[in-house]
Structure 1
Amino acid sequence: MKKWLLPLLALFAVIGIMQPVQTSAETAFYTKTAVTHKDGTTTQPYMTNEQMTVQLDWTYDEAVPAVFTLPDTFKVNENIEKELTTKEGKTIGTLTVNAATNAVTAVFEDAESGVSGTTAIPVSFNQEKVTKAGSYSVAFPTGETITLTVTDTAAGAIKVVALDADTKVKLAGSVFTVVNESGKVVASLTTNSAGEASVPNLGFGTYTVTQTAAPDGYAVPVDPWKVELNTVLVTKEILHKKATGLTGALNITAVEKSTTTPIVGAEFELKTESGLFSKKVVTDEKGKVSLTGLSYGTYILTQTKTDTDYVLPADSWTITIGRQTPIEQKIENTLVNAYGALTVTLTDSSSSTVLKGAEYSLYDEAKKLVSKVVTNDKGVASFTNLKAGSYTLEETDAPDGYTRSTDKTAVTIKSGETVEVKLENTKTAAASSSSTTTTAAGTLPQTGDESSMMYMFGGVLLAGGTLLLMRKGKRA
């Protein structure tokens, strides 16, 4: 063997021996990896669009930790920088996560050997890798290979169960409001005879459940509950305590202004003057919602959401609860477009040609003239900004060459709507071109016609001349 080959082999051997030691030292900082739902549980399955966390256990041994790269099964949605704290709660450095590379980097500032802790990194599935439901095996740098069952189901349900705190008897008539992370009320629940109520088809995430009403004799809890929806069904048991002291109730009715039309889905918030008590409720299909078990005192009621057709009121209402009989509060919302409109289209009755220049007058229920409009080049007369109500439409001037219609058209205007009316006109009949009267015997002259008299006189002379000639002929 050549002399130069032995040193080279020895060098390769040293590199081969050192490399595993170096890798071991770099990954020794991270000791264990786990994948959990957002609430920390590991119940299978996981959803394709679910927000999860990767839990990393670590122990510091004075060596500089290597960068921990998350498997490409997962995706970090944004860059993260957070404190690195021990299990005792002491901050010893920072931890950063690079969204582009899925890289986790720990930097220590003041740490002693042997300290340990756990850090949670929010992740979701990489849609390029997790393309459909199924089982996925994920290998981590810490040595674990975790099999995840993934389903396409993107929604779950929340069920609340109302129970007597002492007897555990199920209670009917408890009312709850469910609010999502964006602050939107997604459901209003009332427990049935079995003490249960549920809302299905909710996207995974964090929800706030607030009790707004309780059965007679029970108090309404002040504090809401946070519910992490991360599986097909999450059940929340609500314990009801007997009411102590005097309580009252508030009934809210939301309607369109000046009507009895209910507003569905109007959201209200009731607070104490101190702000320590706060409840959000949403109106049902009748535009109604109730809060019970309210301690005597003064509250501030504010409408926080309304239907898109209405203007959200800027006012707040002071509510005083001082009796057991429910307080009735009616809230009116004004339409975004509180007026209606009317368009009249006029055409020729025989040719359907649009007619310009017809004047139409619109009268209200008191027969008072509201407006006059003339049809344009397109044969259209438009009446705008009309209050809701009943009107009468009349044609008060016809286009040239047409007969004015004497018909009156009843029109009902609704707020935010445009009523379209199509009308027709007929041409005026042509005047007679002859002033004579024709009979079966011919045409007779009318009295006072000078030309006719001359013709008659000429005829008499002609007849006389003829008679004279006839007499002379006989004599000859």
Structure 2
Amino acid sequence: QYTLVTAGLTDGCDFEVTVDLAALYEAGLISEDDLGVTPVTVTYTATLKEGTTAGDYYNTAWVSYPNSETEQDKVKVETFKIDVFKYDQADEKGLAGAEFALYDETAIDQDGNLIEGATPVLEGIVSGEDGHVVIDGLDAGKYALVETKAPDNYVKSDTPLMLTIEAGIEPNVVNVKFANSKIPHTGGMGTMLFTASGMALLAMAGAVMVIPHSSRKKEER
């Protein structure tokens, strides 16, 4: 008893639903007392387009009838973003190449650990040359940011970073700092210095041994 139009609209709408009350009356679905006072409820779901950035968006609805229309009803829909700064904790310089996965709070157990097999909201998130990575188009709520790969020569964090996005914040951005420390070096220059010092000690010991031997030969002659 209704028609749905989703194309060719010129009034800025994405869709229109038309209900023919006369047809409903003739079909016996409403009575004469219902005409003009029958509530009509339209329920629909909407999903943000891929690539939508953080901000406030509005769904607007109204009813048109011959020669007039109702006041427009607007509902605000908020979407947010998380700006993560990955940096070296020693000098606070940005680090590129860190990889993350984002989970909602249900993926974290009571001990603060990631539940095995949990499905991420988003994965494959990589920090840029300036150390920043932006995760956009998020709802308000609680999330867990998990580092899946550390930058080269840095220690990967195994502790999820819990985040909360509160509805109504202005601007629609949550800024987060995520530090890493370098992998401790047990080889390299330290080993080379130790080896060189050992060789010097051996050379000195050899000299001590040779000198008495040479002196002994001179005395025998």
**TM-score scaled to structure 2, two decimals?**
0.49
Which structure has the highest strand share of the two?
Answer: 1
Higher relative contact order (CA 8 A, sep 6+): 2
**TM-score scaled to structure 1, two decimals?**
0.26
